[in-house]
A and B are shown apart, each in its own frame.
Chain A
């Protein structure tokens, strides 16, 4: 599903080039649950952003479903965002002015889904995550764990093939974290959704079936912790 070869990302400052990612080669198959680990500044988030088309590498090639990403136009990228990729953020990133229902509904609006279908899709999602009672609340009326559940629901409503999660449990306490991870695991196993998450925690990484360790922008084999 994903094939990176020689991906590099660096910043040029006057006389010095600082590498964030160094020549990353990576293949991820459909249906995998991958955890990217590494210390702060290792380049985890940058890698994730590149995988999600939010950032562009300076060097190297990226094939998504055998399609060369470096040749995609902005429009095509946003098509993929609509149909193939869902994002989950550490800070949840819900829109504060919209209710739970409306936040979950939003991706469907950009996809021009008809009103009736939209309603049933959102209802399914609310049902699936047990948040029907919360549908008219605003994000600031929810706990962090509940907000992240909404975040996950929003990422899933477009029925994506790939979920990219940047420290999804970073702001949550352990019980909430476990719940979110169980959710991911369930999605991965029962619905075959590919999941790539960035995490600091071994416990969270354990939910996945593969770990990629990053250190100073390069993939290393041993656990750096």
Chain B
């Protein structure tokens, strides 16, 4: 019996080649698309689960609540938290901290140093996590404070080999390069690990990096603290013990801050956007959901294709149903048969789909920024089995349930009164497909419009032809920010004199931040009425505002001639003036009680120094940071490395960069020359949006291709069915044009319905997406119209071709068969 079913399924497959290839192609694209995205999703959900004890490892968070919404929640924690947990929480088996700082590393042989992210970890790190130590003793790699562990990649980078034990690497700790002995080689972290590393040194070195206050205080958070609890521990009890621990540690100071320590499962870090970001990498799950949604849509469109096409073919299959029933087939026999055919088709489609996956994977990795591999293993096999089951069930549902119910008398006589509701179903499916297509196309257009807007909006400063060079320097305890800025400024002066002869460089200036920096220095203070003000800070030199071509609403920029500018001058933006409630802020001061002598000398317009997702926030720019630091309550510092901005000529840029590099090497020997263009950095802020745009474009292209394939098949079958009608019309004198219009009219009506359905859906989806931006376009009707017209034209071409073929048949031939 099964042999007979298979035979008939295969012969049907080969008999109608167009139909079969449309079906298989459409399904295989749908399968490939969903396989890729499923691979991606499983990878995302597998983060940090490879540790043997992943269900017992937690990351500590600290939470301070001063009332009135004055809340601080961090997943980086105080340095001393480890010893407190070890002392008070008996179920904590292992406690390991990790802290990352960026500084320079070099080998003893080379004069040049390299920027590296250096990680301080406790020795427990190697026992808690399942990162394999390829060389060295996991119990003793950090027996000395100057031991060091390298990842395979880092080992090859610095020594060209993985045979690195006992070699010496010089690592900059604060002001000096310190020699470290390599005692371990660790495998590169898996791609699905939130914890990443290159160069690891013992946490004891923190003594040199942090001040006394940070080392022993509870209110300075730097490292992440990971805790492995015992198997028998009770989460509820541990939570209570952690609260008791903090009450004990802070004593009578506790009620003021309501200081609590909690634990977040390590497997939760990657995809939980509700917990603040620490050091570990996280991803935004919203985009995962969008991705999964698109995969499902494409797969659904492919399944719908399968259904509509099998409905159209049901006229011919109905006869078979009738015959089989008269010779004794039961309904279940026929259901098995039709589902079996869907299953066979799906398996073939899966084969082709796997080829597509192999072919598309590199491109997909580029789209999603991942390094996925496709292997046949139990995981991918079970994924594929699930897909086959899902698709053959969904795609085969119409023939299996409806066709098998046909009455033999009716179908054998050729009068099927089921026709009307069948065509309603088919119509519904076509409308569904085109609604999705128009939805995706309109969304693509709107996303791209918004991206264009983001890229081309006048940000209020010059971003073109500005080269930014990072000065690799951190403030030392002795000099502080003032000293650091001063040093950078001296270096800029040196550079300026060196570059005076280079024709390409017009101007250069120093600042702590440049637009598009992630996280600016920010601070807050309270005035005498206890009103709180928050603002961002940029430390600049007198030339910086001129170089950036900022527009002033009131007052003037800094001047090197006026000594008071250098010591007391402050320039704020309009948003700050508004926040302060000052009509004319010139010559005024900030309303905090403790600020040193200062004076607001200018107000700029609200230039977009951050991304267009957020409104422009208050900003103060000063040359001397002390006038601000003296009066504020809290400060947040994201980066302490000053930057030199160079305004360069458009001509011969590579040569200009070459000259700048030469000059840089001579004034800062051994320091890497890291540079970027400002406009590129600004664009990079919208990388996620660009990724989204590429993925949606990809999805909508696939959707429209598959939908049109379905339409093509549908139109060809419809034309076959109406050949006689067309013949009769021709005999009665209809023109070819009239007939093409007649056939197209039916589909056009469906498209109009689809358009009407897609419009509110796409508007709603895009409107919610645009809420992510403080500055966004207005959704006009144009994008929808274009989406509708594209779909209409593609559909007309598809259907028109088929109907044209029908009209050129001689009516004598088409009518003879009757």
Interface residues of A (CB under 8 A from B): 45, 49, 52, 54-55, 74-75, 78-79, 81-83, 86-87, 89, 91, 93-98, 102, 105-107, 109-112, 154, 158
Contacts and interface: CB of A to CB of B under 8 A. Distances in A.
Interface string B305-337: 000000000000001101111111111010000
B7 interface: yes
19 contacts: A45-B413, A54-B326, A74-B331, A78-B325, A81-B326, A82-B328, A87-B327, A89-B412, A93-B322, A97-B8, A106-B4, A106-B324, A106-B327, A107-B328, A109-B1, A109-B4, A110-B328, A110-B329, A112-B1
B670 interface: no
A102 B326 contact: no
Given A81-B328, A98-B4, 17 more contacts: A45-B413, A54-B326, A54-B407, A54-B409, A74-B331, A78-B330, A81-B326, A87-B327, A95-B8, A95-B323, A97-B7, A106-B324, A106-B327, A110-B328, A110-B333, A111-B328, A112-B1
B409 A49 contact: yes
Nearest to A107: B327
A93 B1 contact: no
Given A54-B409, A109-B1, A93 B328 contact: no
B17 interface: no
Interface in B699-728: none
- The winner among B325, B326, B333, B413 for most chain A CB atoms within 10 A is B326
B11 interface: yes
A63 to B, nearest CB: 21
A106 B164 CA distance: 75
Contact of B327 (A49, A98, A110, A112): A110
Interface residues of B, number: 25
B546 interface: no
Contacts of B11: 97-98
A110 B329 CA distance: 6
Contacts of B319: 93
Interface of B: 1, 4, 7-8, 11-12, 15, 319-320, 322-331, 333, 407-409, 412-413
A74 B332 CA distance: 12
Contacts of B329: 78, 110
- The winner among A78, A82, A102, A107 for most chain B CB atoms within 10 A is A78
- The winner among A74, A75, A106 for most chain B CB atoms within 10 A is A106
Contacts of A91: 412
A158 B327 contact: yes
A98 B7 contact: yes
B323 to A, nearest CB: 5
Contacts of B413: 45
Contact of B408 (A54, A95, A107, A112): A54
A52 to B, nearest CB: 7
B389 to A, nearest CB: 26
Nearest to A89: B412
Given A98-B7, A102-B7, A93 B323 contact: yes
- The winner among A89, A102, A109, A158 for most chain B CB atoms within 10 A is A109
B328 A78 contact: yes
Nearest to B327: A107
Contacts of A109: 1, 4
Contacts of A75: 330
B331 A158 contact: no
Given A78-B325, A106-B4, A106-B324, A93 B412 contact: yes
